Amino acid sequence: MKLLVRDGWVEAEGLRFKGAYPVLHAFLVNDHVVVIYDWMVFDRGMPARNLFCYDKSGSEIWRAQDINWGAVDAYTNVTDEAPLWVSNFAGFNCRIDESTGHVLAMDFTK
């Protein structure tokens, strides 16, 4: 379920917290909030690691690992919520473990 993102805040009924970086997208997945931050605010020349998971109070649970593609390694959009698949700027759709943030599988889509 896509959540409301406004001025850096992630909001839904009974849920409201300020993102650590500018928020592009936020989704409610299995009672956790999955957030994709704007990859442009992360260090250039290295993976952005811009996919985070929080509990409903805004406490960080995990930060997704990168896929070892260097500067083009940034998450762009949730393509499926159950199971969690997230597209990557490098052209991959990545299966992310909802409990750890580890990349379980990658499909090249370009």
| Gap between the Cα atoms of 81 and 33, Å rounded | 11
What is the model's pTM? Answer: 0.94
Tell which residue, 55, 18, 15, has the closest CA to residue 6.
18
The residues, ordered by sequence, that sit 6+ positions from 59 with a Cβ below 8 Å of its Cβ are none
Q: Are 95 and 75 in contact (CB under 8 A)?
A: no
The residues, ordered by sequence, that sit 6+ positions from 45 with a Cβ below 8 Å of its Cβ are 70, 71
The class level of CATH for 4-108 reads mainly beta
Question: Which structure tokens are listed for 84?
Answer: 């969690």
Residue 99: is its pLDDT beyond 90? Answer: yes
Quick: pLDDT tens for 46-93: 999 999 999 999 999 999 999 999 888 999 999 999 999 999 999 999
